[in-house]
Structure 1
Amino acid sequence: MLMMNDTKVSYFTLAAYFDIRAFRYLFFFVVMCLYALIISSNVLLIVVIGVNRSLHEPMYMFLCSLFVNELYGSSGLFPFLLIQILSDVHTVSAPLCFLQVFCLYTYGSVQLSNLSIMAYDRYLAICFPLQYNTLMAPGRTARLVFIVWFYPFLAIVVLVSMTAALRLCGNVINKVFCDNYSIVKLACSEFTAINIYGLLIMCLLVISPAVLIFYSYMRILRVCYSGSTQTRQKAARTCTPHLASLLNFSFGCCFEILHGRFDLSGVPSMLRIVLSVYYLTCQPLFNPVLYGLNVSKIHSLCRSLLCGKKFVFNL
């Protein structure tokens, strides 16, 4: 209901959904299976890392943080999608919409911050192998994980609060989930402050992690170029999963930005929907498989657990 006297919105309409009555149960089943796969694969790896002391190293702690964030981000999207698929009226209450904005934006911010810390960790491991245990002591690892989660949550709380305070002249969002930029475009009040704050957030949560990733890999490449074949092989073995994850996440984020800011009406609606949720769907599915197969310790422990072999909990 849009109340024009005080321009307060009590609900939003998600206009990107189209009539899927003939296929709604098929879509529901597919989305449910994807969600179940994400939950089971990420929980499996969190348990494997948590119960094995041999994996209580900085790299695996950052991986555990990554998997926890993927559970968090998926839970901010998939239950919502499942309800909307079965619904005939694709609306969402304003408080629930802003809660979803908070969940999805913090997920994306924590994900990029986590990937940047992982790149920094690989840089220290490859460029300073003898000092690595000192540079990445348990206390420092814990502080880095805290920073990865704390600053995105704090920044996004302020952003969502500023958006919620806007007076809106509409309530139609042309997406299948709630998006902060789409809500701001509906504003009929001044939102310069949000634009300025958005630039600050971009510097803190996007540009800074990107610079750290770029710096880390430039230093890694420099060491590999001047190092031995063994050094290059070690770098390739440890950095390939991280780079693949980073590229996959970047692709999804780039399309999401393009989708929000440019007219993509020429793209088929189903393809737009799939690509708009790509970074929230494929990343949580892609990372457990990627790290589970490529990180030898995790691979061997998961295989032992799934095959019913003797699995020792190194507590």
Structure 2
Amino acid sequence: MEGELNVSYFILDRHVEHHRFRYLYFTVVLTVYVLILCSNCTVVYLICKQPDLHEPMCVFIAALLLNSVVFSTNIYPKLLLDFLSDTQVISHKACLLRFFLFYTSGNSEFLLLAAMAYDRYVSICRPLHYPSIMRRSTVSVLVASTWFVPACQVVATTATISSQSLCSFRLRGIFCNSSVYSLLCVTSRVSVFGVFTLLNSVVLSVIFIVFTYTRILLICYCSSADVRRKAAHTCLPHLLVLINLFFLVTYDVVTVRVNPDLPKTAFLIMTLELVSYNPLSNPLIYGLKMKEIQKNLKKLFCAHENS
């Protein structure tokens, strides 16, 4: 029975001063999670409700923010429970599920940014063909693909991990990411799937986005100042989100595969910052930078104040 318990559960060993600061941790993380849910869901609700926001770019933004909600919900509720628990453990199956959701939603964000880059390219560089290219059916296929393709890739990695023998049950982290690789006796097959997914969903998406925005900038450079201003206004938010995601992926790769001996406090702070920044900043970037959404947000809050 004890052997089954050891095989079934992992210990999350990167919590710091848990018994001393558990209520502080809980309050801070709960506040962040509530802010993430409220800000992202407000913009998604606004886009769904307002017919004038049903254009392709706003649909992609709604999908991106919904993806942030899934990403955060996969992490924060478990963290909150761990802060109030005497021991921080997670079952093998639950860990694999959270691993799957973590990388599926993370890779989906890169593909959604690639779809947004393509939309901006067609809008700015081929405006006369925009209605015929970015039809509703095309947008639906793109959004569905940004979730379906990563899910198919990550499920292969997850299935491979589940079939491997475990040589350790102490997870070097506060949630289940690729740190589960360190628990396996043999990681070669899992590493192959992980590298393939990283190249296919992340590296190719980044190359496509950089190429697309380079083309946009080159075309706009020869255009009027008004066109250059419009391009900068619409492309800058996507580039900011891409840079944030790049740092998140770099941190995940470095801390897990290179496995530096970071102090637990530094590890905890950096991890919480990196999994909080994008879900918190995305609704602010798109809610404040996109004029159409900003205008409807003002109407929404003014209507509530008047009522």
Fold match (TM-score > 0.5): yes
Equivalent-residue separation in structure 2 for 1:153 and 1:33 (angstroms): 29
Equivalent-residue separation in structure 1 for 2:126 and 2:115 (angstroms): 16
Instruction: Judge conservation of contact 2:16–2:268 (CA < 8 Å) in 1.
Output: no
In structure 2, relative to structure 1, the CA distance for the partners of 1:251 and 1:195 (3 Å cut) is closer
| 1:300 match | 295
In structure 2, relative to structure 1, the CA distance for the partners of 1:113 and 1:192 (3 Å cut) is same
Post-superposition Cα deviations, 1:136-155, rounded to whole Å, max 9, x if no partner, equal 11111111001101011111
Determine helix, strand or coil for the equivalent of 2:128.
coil
| 1:22 match | 20
Q: Larger helix proportion, structure 1 or 2?
A: 2
| 2:267 match | 272
| 2:279 match | 284
Instruction: Report the CA distance between 1:282 and its aligned residue.
Output: 1.1
| 2:180 match | 183
Equivalent-residue separation in structure 1 for 2:161 and 2:173 (angstroms): 17
In structure 2, relative to structure 1, the CA distance for the partners of 1:123 and 1:310 (3 Å cut) is farther
Which letter does structure 2 place at the counterpart of 1:183? V
Instruction: Report the CA distance between 1:82 and its aligned residue.
Output: 0.1
| 1:119 match | 117
Determine helix, strand or coil for the equivalent of 2:19.
coil
Instruction: Report the CA distance between 1:99 and its aligned residue.
Output: 1.0
The answer to whether residue 10 in structure 2 is matched with residue 3 in structure 1 is no
| 1:202 match | 198
| 1:170 match | 168
Equivalent-residue separation in structure 1 for 2:139 and 2:20 (angstroms): 51
Percentage of identical aligned residues:
33
Instruction: Judge conservation of contact 1:252–1:275 (CA < 8 Å) in 2.
Output: no
Determine helix, strand or coil for the equivalent of 1:13.
strand
The answer to whether residue 224 in structure 2 is matched with residue 236 in structure 1 is no
Determine helix, strand or coil for the equivalent of 2:183.
coil
In structure 2, relative to structure 1, the CA distance for the partners of 1:235 and 1:62 (3 Å cut) is same
Equivalent-residue separation in structure 2 for 1:77 and 1:306 (angstroms): 30
Equivalent-residue separation in structure 1 for 2:266 and 2:142 (angstroms): 37
Instruction: Judge conservation of contact 1:76–1:103 (CA < 8 Å) in 2.
Output: yes
| 1:84 match | 82
Instruction: Report the CA distance between 1:304 and its aligned residue.
Output: 1.6
Equivalent-residue separation in structure 2 for 1:30 and 1:173 (angstroms): 23
Equivalent-residue separation in structure 1 for 2:33 and 2:302 (angstroms): 23
Unpaired runs of at least 5, structure 2: none
| 2:241 match | 245
TM-score (norm 1): 0.92
Instruction: Judge conservation of contact 1:11–1:93 (CA < 8 Å) in 2.
Output: yes
Instruction: Report the CA distance between 1:98 and its aligned residue.
Output: 0.8
Equivalent-residue separation in structure 1 for 2:85 and 2:305 (angstroms): 46
Determine helix, strand or coil for the equivalent of 1:277.
helix
Instruction: Report the CA distance between 1:19 and its aligned residue.
Output: 2.3
- Equivalent position to 1:213, from 191, 209, 215: 209
Instruction: Report the CA distance between 1:291 and its aligned residue.
Output: 0.8
Equivalent-residue separation in structure 1 for 2:301 and 2:182 (angstroms): 49
Instruction: Report the CA distance between 1:8 and its aligned residue.
Output: 7.7
Instruction: Report the CA distance between 1:309 and its aligned residue.
Output: 5.9
Question: Which deviates the most, 12-21 or 290-299?
Answer: 12-21
Determine helix, strand or coil for the equivalent of 2:20.
coil
- Equivalent position to 1:56, from 50, 54, 57: 54
Post-superposition Cα deviations, 1:267-315, rounded to whole Å, max 9, x if no partner, equal 443232122233421111001011111111111111221233699xxxx
Post-superposition Cα deviations, 1:70-94, rounded to whole Å, max 9, x if no partner, equal 1101100000100111112111111
The answer to whether residue 105 in structure 2 is matched with residue 107 in structure 1 is yes
Equivalent-residue separation in structure 2 for 1:164 and 1:203 (angstroms): 22
Question: Which deviates the most, 62-71 or 296-305?
Answer: 296-305
Instruction: Report the CA distance between 1:252 and its aligned residue.
Output: 2.0
Post-superposition Cα deviations, 1:46-69, rounded to whole Å, max 9, x if no partner, equal 110001110111100000100110
Equivalenced residue count is 306
Which letter does structure 2 place at the counterpart of 1:221? L
Question: Which deviates the most, 269-278 or 298-307?
Answer: 269-278
| 2:253 match | 257
Post-superposition Cα deviations, 1:244-278, rounded to whole Å, max 9, x if no partner, equal 1111221222122211123433x443232122233
- The alignment yields a C-alpha RMSD, in angstroms, of 2.0
Unpaired runs of at least 5, structure 1: none
Instruction: Judge conservation of contact 2:6–2:169 (CA < 8 Å) in 1.
Output: no
